[in-house]
Amino acid sequence: MLRGSSEKLSSPITYIKGVGPARAELLMKEKGIKTQWDMLTDFPFRHVDRTVFSSIREAVEDGQPIQLKGVITQTQIMGRGRGKRLSAGFTDGTGNITLVWFQGVTRLEKIIGPGVKLIVFGKLSYYGSKKNMAHPEIEIIGEGGAEKLVKTGLQPVYSTTEKLSSRGLDTKGLRRIQKNIWAGLSKSDIPETMPAYLLEKLKLIDRYRAFKWLHFPENQSQLDQARKRLSFEELFVLQLRMLHRMTERKMRLKGFVFEQVGQYFHRYFSEQLPFELTGAQKRVLKEIRGDTKTGIQMNRLIQGDVGSGKTIVAIMAMLLAIDNGFQTCLMAPTEILANQHYLKIAGQLEEIGLKAAFLSGSVKGKKRTKILEELAAGEIHVLIGTHAIIEDWVVFKKLGLVVIDEQHRFGVKQRAKLWKKSGELPPHVMVMTATPIPRTLAMTLYGELDISTIDELPPGRKPVKTSRSSDRYRGRLNQFIKNQIAAGRQVYIVYPLIEESSKLDLANLQHGYETLLEQFPRPQYQIGVVHGKMKPDDKDLEMKRFVEGKTHILVSTTVIEVGVNVPNATVMVIENAERFGLSQLHQLRGRVGRGADQSHCILVTGYKLSKVAKKRMEIMCSTNDGFVIAEEDLKIRGPGEIEGTRQSGDIELKVANMARDGIILQTARKMGKIILEKDPTLSHPENVLLKKMVQAENGSALLGRIG
């Protein structure tokens, strides 16, 4: 949330009524709240309509927040010491529920007793078959508080912790502190951050009202207007800063000009292409061609689903550079993936008279020396490898294009080192990712890059058939695997590996492996094992055996998720599939379906699944489209958890929601582009606030910068 507040709001929280030194210290430790501004931007995560009451009989959903009006029938103190709790029977005439408090028991037993009429609010839960509510908020009817509460309508609910609640800083206590802050505020304390013309054009309310209504709306309309205004501000700050940097970079950074499409490009196109390019591939190549003609450094993200043909596009972009007298390199995050690229690309390039070389940490001695000499002399046209490419001792004669595969695996400093290897101008940069990213998230993660999407699969590629199974059908599954192996195919069996329970997970993998040895005895069946705790050499050996077809079944954790290409592997069995996220399941499924034969993905789950897990399985079985899956994953998990973004840090948004606010985000980006086209340096008087916005140091973190 962009700062824009008075000196008053910069003062410590200590001096606000209801806080004091002890509570201030606790708020700092538990929620990072130091100042009144911090408190003000600790927005409620939801609002409850306290004019609506449920009946005990109608309330049935576990975890459902409900408000009840009724009377205490009996109370009982149970347990001792830390286990002491107050249990109260409560009825509204339609049924009974037990209210339980583990904290504040001494205070509560003085004010709650049989016959006391209450309004209670909390989450419904079950103890056996009986309805329960732990630590409900209460208002005693007849003291004036309840009547006032009912008239207020929407009431903010703030996140809290057990330690805060024990010191009276539950959501009710936090609400009281917010009211005390607001009692001393005026409009000048929350000054405007956006120009009047923008507010008027988009029909947005002023910032002061937006803050006030987000905390204490009188009705749903006020809450909606507050959310719209502050969501736009957050997303607009992100987009304007990224677009401004992009504009500055294009004005400042010149790039090599690739003037011609020459013989190597044409020969590859006519002699080496394994199939006709898709419309999406042609469109992306046209965009790359456009970038490299301008004299401005290209900085482009190519995103495409597994098997969409990104590598072909990368090869043709490289040939464009070579036709104009430049060398190129391709950097991948692992040796297996880099070597796979090399094996795929080197042979095709040799056919048209070009030389490719492979470089990784394991390439040493005379072999490495020869590669480095030929590279410096310009005899190697394409260098493919791992992060070894960025080492200082790797010198190019004339580097014009850098291709980075799965760029979120590399740090900004690593990527930036490649820039220095091309002499007077930075090389063009092309980043590839096989992790489909929802449009809204791509605009935020990679907003400083030009983005190309390959959203078509090559013709003739068969979609992977996905189905769900369970232990009940294990015999049938094993027979299916045997049939596939008898037909000459190979199989992946993947187990989850989550850090917090890695010992348990490895035990599961080992147990699964031992069970498979019984079902698939040697020497008829060869089974390999790969997991992240193995030594790299052992892991590479097992992977190599599988790639070469010597192993029938590869039992693995998610280490095979990215990069391995085994066209003969047609079956992917994912054990405990409910423990994986959607994007991860889709990435794993992408390891099969790479050959001409029909491939299958079997999701093995437990019998009882949560609603979210059921939804994931349904989505996986219904579509092979990675972009549809990514959008659904965003809705379910939120932007900070989407696969591929965590390496860069989560997106910190206090009000806006990526899954909900896609249209607001697109509007924010569109307005940012319009403003910067008219005023690239934001020097016009009406954009003075926007210039401050761009220059502010304490705005939301931005991700996805190449260098």
**Which tens digits make up the pLDDT trace of 313-366?**
999 999 999 999 999 999 998 887 888 899 889 999 999 999 999 999 888 999
Phi then psi for residue 209, to 5 deg, are -65, -35
Q: Does domain 263-293+308-433 have CATH number 1.10.287.3510?
A: no
Radius of gyration (C-alpha) of the chain in whole angstroms: 30
Own/partner pairs, 25-30, CB within 8 angstroms, 24+ separation:
26/163, 26/164, 26/167, 26/169, 27/164, 27/169, 29/163, 30/161, 30/163, 30/164
Task: Please give the pLDDT value at position 19.
Answer: 92
Task: Please give the pLDDT value at position 502.
Answer: 56
670: Cβ contacts below 8 Å, ≥ 6 apart: none
Give the H/E segment covering residue 229: helix 220-252
For CATH 2.40.50.140, the residue range(s) in the chain are 51-152
Task: Please give the pLDDT value at position 644.
Answer: 43
For CATH 1.10.150, the residue range(s) in the chain are 1-50+160-188
Q: Does domain 465-623 have CATH number 1.20.120.160?
A: no
CATH classification for the domain delimited by 1-50+160-188, as one of 1.10.150, 1.10.3470, 1.10.287, 1.10.3090 = 1.10.150
Dihedral sign (CA 346, 544, 579, 484): positive
Q: What is the mean pLDDT of each run of 10 residues along the chain (707 residues)?
A: 72 90 93 92 88 87 86 90 86 93 83 90 87 88 52 78 86 91 91 93 96 93 95 91 85 89 92 85 95 91 85 95 96 85 91 94 91 95 93 92 76 69 86 79 74 82 90 91 94 74 63 89 91 80 88 84 74 91 86 85 88 91 88 73 41 78 89 93 92 67 31
For CATH 3.40.50.300, the residue range(s) in the chain are 263-293+308-433, 465-623
Query: pTM of the prediction?
Result: 0.68
236: Cβ contacts below 8 Å, ≥ 6 apart: 194, 668, 671, 672
Task: Please give the pLDDT value at position 652.
Answer: 67
**Which string of b and e fits 674-702 if b means at least 16 CB within 10 Å?**
ebbeeeeebeeeebebbbebbeeeebbeb
Reduce the DSSP state of residue 647 to 3 states and report it.
helix
Burial class (CB in 10 A: 0-12, 13-18, 19+), 418: buried
Task: Please give the pLDDT value at position 504.
Answer: 57
Task: Please give the pLDDT value at position 645.
Answer: 42
Task: Give dist(CA 327, CA 308) in Å, integer.
Answer: 25
How far, CA to CA in Å, does 587 sit from each of 281, 306, 546? 21, 8, 19
Q: Does domain 51-152 have CATH number 2.40.50.140?
A: yes
